[in-house]
Structure 1
């Protein structure tokens, strides 16, 4: 059953009790990466294998996302700066115990394309915090795999 999460502000990304931060590079320019993240929401499952469905809501001010295994998120877009940043807060989920969650994608130009940094910021009771920290290697693997998929998708001109 879905439950509401705390409506944290954007700076929660810096103060959350659990912060999982991952970074890598892709060959595409920041503007193309931003379009894939923010404007082609329904395309996420084609490059992020953990996602089975994604769609914009509220005229683009939010998203609904479904993951493998049945996890669901309803989100509010908190920042959308073309070519630089895309962040969203999870407002509702069926994941038990999570009290707050925000994800922040930062894009920086690099000599070979774009540096991508993804931060997952979360809060919950101690068992949830421990579980999130223990999930770090798997989440990192999923991020790196997704960035390889995004790189291929952008190179093919699909977005």
Structure 2
């Protein structure tokens, strides 16, 4: 059953009790990467292995996301500032323990490509906080694998709207 989380705003990305930050480079320009993140939501499962389904809601103001293992999220988009930032908070989830969750994708030029930085900002009881810190290496690996797959997809010309 879905539970409502505490609604947080963009400042939570710096004040959250748990902040996991990862970065990787891709060869595509920031504008192209931003389009893949913010406008091509339905194709996230093609490059982010943990995502099994994603769709925009509310005319693009929200998203519904399903992860492998059955975790579900209903999200509100807080920032879609091309080409620098894409951020969303989780409003409802069936994931146990979470009290608040916000994810931010920051994009910046890196040579002829883009540096992608993902911040996973969360709050929950002490056992959840500890678990997230323990899972940090796995989340980092999942992020790097996803960004590598996104880079390959974008290099093949499979941008927004491609199937």
| Cα offsets for 1:67-123 (capped at 9, x unmatched) | 000000000000010110000000000011100000000000111300000000000
Match of 2:151 in 1: 151
Partners of 2:150 and 2:26 in 1: CA distance:
8
Partners of 1:60 and 1:9 in 2: CA distance:
18
Partners of 1:23 and 1:60 in 2: CA distance:
26
1:81 is aligned to 2:81: yes
1:54 is aligned to 2:54: yes
Structure 1 residue 9: Cα displacement: 1.0
Q: TM-score, with normalisation over the residues of structure 1?
A: 0.99
Runs (4 or more) in structure 1 with deviation over 3 Å come to none
Structure 1 unaligned spans of 5+? none
Structure 2 unaligned spans of 5+? none
Match of 2:120 in 1: 120
1:2 is aligned to 2:8: no
Partners of 1:50 and 1:95 in 2: CA distance:
14
Partners of 1:154 and 1:14 in 2: CA distance:
30
Partners of 2:22 and 2:112 in 1: CA distance:
18
Alignment of 1:79-118 (within 5 A): 79-118=79-118
Match of 1:63 in 2: 63
Q: TM-score, with normalisation over the residues of structure 2?
A: 0.97
Match of 2:131 in 1: 131
